[in-house]
Structure 1
Amino acid sequence: MSPASPPAHTHWDSALRRDFEEKRRLTWIGPLSQGSLRVPRHAVVHSYAAVVLVLKGESHVRHAGELVLRAGDVHLIPPGDAHGREHSDAQALGLGFYLEALSDDPEEREARLRPLLRVRGGCHPVLRPTLAQRRRLLRWMRLMEEEQARSERGSDEASLALLRLVLIELERMSSPEAAVEPASVGLSRRALSYIETHCLEPLSLAKVARELGRSAPHVAQVVRQETGRSVGEWILECRMAEARSRLRHTDERVDIVAERVGYADVTHFIRLFRRVHGVTPAAWRRRMEAGVR
């Protein structure tokens, strides 16, 4: 099979997507077409990062302004960035991943995320790679798609290794030049960046606002307006991502995991985790160990 050829689709593609959206999978990749493109007309926000490679056609998208995506373009969408579609006849390959899929080391994670962090900081969200860069990116993404379709032993590890190659390729394409954007959008993005960096510390709306030099009501309003979620909900999202990573990759007791992610009261942590995931942390860990999707 050539790198540009998609693997045969199976009846459980939708199940894979559902597992990803319910955070049982760290990555998802698949075709996006006019009928299946998951960028609706109204603005949406998601807690995972997305990379969209346009293969054919044209798509008009709202994301920090009005964008026109054409064949060969790469659209980067950081977690928390509102975006929506005006109209599209494009065919594309979409990749989504949660930040917990990357290294546990903050500096290494930041290095891998640099292209998306530049978008968060104000850079244009569309990359226009050279032909060689586009071919390499498509190769890595197609190989990820094959690994996802196989769902064999080691497929998750292979997908994460290919994700790293995708991010390296995006870094090669990126430019550090920043674009000017509305202050409100910039404030929301700065708030999310601060939350992602400091979510394991004692953190509140008041502290986020103080660090950004704005009033708490103003920060709360802007974040809610731009992302559809409150500052508290984003803090919870980041802490739950770290909790899932520790439950998946360590044998730490649940009370230790709770403390590591910012909760001194393990009962409160278990209650929050169950509210988000539908099961207790211990049950979630057992499912992951058993490979239950």
Structure 2
Amino acid sequence: MTIEEGFPGQRMQVLPRPRVREALRLPGVSHLVVTDAGYFPDARNHGRRRSAPIDEAVVMLCVAGRGWCETSGGRFNVTAGEVVILPPRHPHAYGADKREPWTIWWLHLTGRDLAEFLDAANVTVEQPVRTISERYRVAALVSEVLTWMERDTTTASITAASGAAWHLLSLLVAQPSSGDERSDSIDEAAEYLRAHVGERVEVSQLAAAANLSPSHFAALFRQRLGMPVLRYQTQLRMARARELLDHTSLSIAQISERVGYADSFYFARQFRATHGMTPSRYREEHKG
């Protein structure tokens, strides 16, 4: 026998459905509306099966314990640090592990931009579970949603809850589904590039560290980051160059060297191609 709700220490809020319909017509809110949200600690015997699909997406963050979910794509185990995202209008089921019941933060979402978010995050019934590195940040955002919903159902509170949910989904889009070794290797390579902006790093080096051929590594990198390795590296270098131009009195040649370009003229050409102006002109621009 499973329990859908009712756990010691829980928090839960449900937006009245007439208010949901009103929110879906409000400017600035209709793009994403939180209809339900909650926190279930040590949710022993928790479970729900929806044979009739609902119009909302269900997002659950497991912060402790274990659980599972089922979609038409199969049955999936869920552990601490993983997020379950169940698309709307698909039958599904989920529940806590009998021996190690999960602790979850959860919310239901609807709105005109929801489908676009789910597509960008590559959410499907075949891949409803993903590992994230920012579990506490995600939990804090769900808690923020709950706090606003607990306050009242005014437009101001609904708008604030929507904003926190927007932030949460943005994080999920920014962190594509991971958990396999190849994805982790690509993430580590990107982190290495961010930490070594001023160094000359070849694609072949990164590929060798990931135990992949250069062509396979380059394809996986582009798929995961949305751009080729060299363009990603150039963006990192340009971002660092902007910081140095804005906050130091270093010469253009010195900045060029700091961000990994031995030839300051080539650096200036790359900077102009990115920003539409020379480094000197950028430094003279009024900002802020």
Q: Compute the TM-score of the two structures, normalised by the length of structure 2.
A: 0.46
Structure with greater strand percent: 2
Return the index of the structure with the highest Cα Rg. Answer: 2
TM-score (ref. length: structure 1): 0.45
